[in-house]
Each structure stands twice: as structure tokens, then as C-alpha cells.
Amino acid sequence: MTVIQPLQKTTWAKAIASPAAEFNSTPLKITKGEIPAGLRGSLYRNGPARLKRGSQSVAHWFDGDGAILAIHFTGTGATGVYRYVQTAGYQAEEKAGKFLYGGYGMISPLPWWQRFGKSLKNTANTSVLALPDKLLALWEGAHPYALDLQTLETIGSDNLGWLKANWSFSAHPKVDPHTGEIYNFGVTPGKNSTLHVYRCARTGKLLKHSAIRIIGVPLIHDFILAGKYLVFFIPPVRLQLLPVLLQLKSFSDALTWHPEKGTQIFILERDTLNVVSYGEAEPWYQWHFGNGCTNENSEIVADVVRYPDFQTNQRLKEIAAGETKTLAVGTLWQLRLDPNSGQLKEIQKVLDRSCDFPTVAASEIGQTWRYTYLSLHSCQTDIQRDIFTAIGRFDYHTGTLTEADLGKNRFPSEPIYAPDADNPGRGWVLTIVFDGERAKSEVWIYDAERLDAPPVCCLELPKVVPFGFHGIWKAEGM
């Protein structure tokens, strides 16, 4: 007789099994190697840190309360700080000891007659943007929250002096490396939704605003800065608005896949924010673009992690429960666009590996670039059950992937490139690694040119930091 053994809980689930514990400024212990002398600045990372309250669990990974990790590197070492973003919703639920609000993947657990008039909770859990005087914690559907750059103390909800009440400031702003100008967007839903596009000074002051009408309610998570253009790819996902307004369905459950609509393309001139052209392409879904530029033929070139459909949303929902069953594989593609016609001239797969969270050096955003850094599934990984287990660097000049092998049951965050302060031609790649065997979190630092070699330094964090979404590097003095 054959006895079928139940599947063991995945080791990565230990990172999110309990709400994360904050820690104040703490000198970090070096467990391997040395901190590079030219690594001076701050790494900031954002992500869902509380997925449970008592016996209640969130319904989707996107619903966890946001917490920010800051690693400050100076000439004398490194310190770490980890703090929850003290949003109004977080504070109210802390006081009540239970969930009160709906979110991306859940409706409010309150009786139906108490739900009306209660807004969705701003979880402030997706990304960060460093302004000269504050750090912004970003979420898709509302205003950012401002925090102290050093201590991460929450200052409060921030409209930047110009955001209207129903305008959002999305989680994937693009910062021009030459001018410091910030480009971002937000969607105001309705029967005919409005795509708001913003051009801001490096301080966050609004310089230009444009409003574009879109039929229905799409899901737009990211966009491209490419030379003198901004490009929005709108995948064929639409929201059933009425069930959400009646609080019968969450946003996630009300999103539907319509491949017959194809992918819509809006190309804007970056200074005026005027629409230059509109195009359509075959259906696919994307969360993230790596980068964009214009080539010698004045075409727009960009890379994107492309999914064949919207099953990725179900998989991300399952992460909150600590066990994934849905297979959703994204792969890296490069595309060429004619900015004058909006026509997609070419799109081809450049890396046939399960991946996401593509990043480039901040100095190359919107410019010609060579390397895209990614989170990957290693070749030995059970893709269906595991989250990403490696990081890599794809070289567009040679068409090759250099992969960092973290070892068994170690799970990295999105890789972030940090330039060396003393040698402009050198850089480092930083990632937060959860060791599932030891239930520990560490900061790993790689030489960007030797990503397949062991890390040059590992720093132990005092508490487990759950998997997050996005981060940035802020160089010393910037």
C-alpha cells in the first residue's frame, strides 16, 4: 500500500507566517566579507509586512500593511531601520485589533451596513521615492505617505501640494537621471476612466499635468520613460466597477481578462504630456517594464516581463497563504515601437526563464542601457511552488545571462544597482535574502561585474523582513 505524504509547507512561507517586527536604528553585523568602501548611501525597500490580525488573514498579498526597510551605508559601517508606515487605516486597525477596511483583494469584514462610506485602506506597501527632504511610501490607489529619510518615522499622508482628493500617485515613478524630473501617473476610475499623467520637479512640485480619457477601468501598474517619450501599455484587463462600488467584490475579484481587446498603446511627449500617437497590439499582461530608450532610428526600444494572461494575479493572491498552486510564468521580451504611428514593429523574447522585477541602474533610466537585473527562478526550482530563488543580469550586448546562485532555500528580493561613490565605472548589486533554513534575513552585496561569484559582503538583519516589492538606492549627498 502506497502512503501519499502531504506536501510540506514551503520554506519561504516562514518569512510571512507572522507579522513583521519593527526595529530602530541598529548597527548591522557582518557575517561574511567586507562592506565595499565606495558603497555610501541608503537602500530603501517597501513591502507588505502584516498579512494577519489575530485569526484573520488578508485575501491577497497586495493587502498587507506596508513597512519600509532602510539600510544606511557610511564610511564606518551599516545600520538598519525597519518601520511600519503609520497610515490612518493601519492605526485604526491596530487600535481595534482586527481588520476594518477593504483593499485590493478583500472587502471589509464589517457587516454590510457598516461598509458603506468606508474607503479602501491605503496600505502604502508597493514602492518608495526619495525626495530631497522626505521619503514617499507609494501605493497604486491613493496619495503617498511621507516618512523621515533617516528614521522612517511617518510624517503623514502627503498630497505634494497639488494632488486632488481623487487623484492617485502610482508606485512606479520614473526619475530622469539628467534633469531630476519625476514622471508618474494615476487612474481615476469611472465609466470613462481618466489617466492622469504628471511631470514634476525633483522636489515633487507639479510642472505639468495631462488627463487622458480611457473607456472602462483598466489595470495600469507601470509605464516607460524612453528618451523624449512616455509610453503606456494598457493590457486587456478591465474592472467590473458596480460590484466593487456595492462592495460585493474586491478589486482583484472584479478584474476580468478580455484578450479580444488586445493591448492598447499610448505614446506621449514627455515635456508637454500631449498624446503623440495611439496603437494596438496582441494581448498580453505585464506588471513591470525594465527600461526604455530611443535608438538610432528614432524608434522606441523597451524591455518588459510579459505574461500570456492574467493568471499572475491569482498566483500573487496565493502567496499570502504561503503556498502557490497556480503556475504563472513571466519572461523577458524586448520591443520596438514607431512613436509617430504607435505601431509595434517588433516584439521578441530575449530570455526564456521565469522572471520579474526588472531593474536598471538609475543613471540609465530612459537612456540606452546594456544590463537589465532581474529576480529569477533558478533552473532547479519548482516554479509552481516556489517564489524567486535567484537574481541575474541580462546583457543585451552579448545576449547572455549571468546568474547568482544563492543556495538551497534562500529567497532574494528585487536586485538594486548601487554605483560606487569612488569609482563611477564600478557598481554593486544589493538584495535582501531570506534564509528559509535559518529563518533569518540578510543584506547581500554583489560585485555587479561578478554576479556569479559569491557575495562580497553579507549583513545580518536583527529581525525577519518579509518579501517586499520594490526599492531604490539613494546615493550619499543626493
Q: What would the pLDDT profile of 383-436 be if each residue is shown by its tens digit? A: 999 999 999 999 999 999 999 989 999 999 999 999 999 998 899 999 999 999
Range of the domain at 253: 11-475
Query: Taking Cα atoms as reference points, which of 252, 385, 409 lies closest to residue 325?
Result: 385
Q: Is residue 119 pLDDT above 90, yes or no?
A: no
Question: What is the H or E stretch that residue 244 is in?
Answer: helix 241-245
Domain total of the chain = 1
Range scoring the smallest mean pLDDT among 33-37, 103-107, 354-358:
103-107
Q: What percent of the chain has pLDDT over 70?
A: 97
Q: What pLDDT score was predicted for residue 1? A: 39
Residue-level pLDDT at 3: 39
Q: Does 280 have pLDDT greater than 90? A: yes
pLDDT of residue 349: 98
* Per-residue CA distances from 76 to 151, 186, 420, 476 (Å): 18, 41, 16, 13
| Report field, pTM of the whole predicted structure over 0.85 | yes
* Model pLDDT, residue 84: 98
Specify burial of residue 397 (Cβ count, 10 A radius: 0-12, 13-18, 19+): exposed
Residue 3 located in a structural domain = no
pLDDT band at 117; cut points 50, 70, 90:
low
Q: Is residue 45 part of a domain?
A: yes
Domain membership flag for residue 2: no
Interatomic CA distance for residues 294 and 299, integer angstroms: 5
The 8-class DSSP code of residue 350 comes to: E
DSSP 206-232: EEEEEEEEEEB-B-----EEETTEEEE
- CATH code of the domain containing 72: 2.130.10.10
Could you tell me the three cell numbers for 408? 538551497
Residue 99 lies in a domain: yes
Cell of 374: 532581474
- The answer on pLDDT for 191 being more than 90 is no
pLDDT digits (tens, 9 = 90+) for 44-71: 999 999 999 988 999 999 999 999 999 9
Strand partners, 432: 443
pLDDT band at 111 (very low <50, low <70, confident <90, very high): confident
Q: Is residue 327 part of a domain?
A: yes
- Each residue's pLDDT tens digit, 297-346: 999 999 999 999 999 999 999 999 999 999 999 999 999 999 999 999 99
- Give which of 372, 337, 347, 369 is closest to 229, Cα–Cα: 337
Which amino acid is it at 187? V
429-452 confidence digits (pLDDT tens): 999 999 999 999 999 999 999 999
pLDDT score of 7: 43
Q: Would residue 5 count as lying in a domain?
A: no
Answer left, alpha or beta for residue 204, where phi above 0 means left and psi between -120 and 50 means alpha: left
**Is 215 part of any domain?**
yes
| Residue 330 covered by a domain | yes
Beta strands 285-294 and 457-460 are unpaired
Confidence of residue 8 (pLDDT cuts 50, 70, 90): low
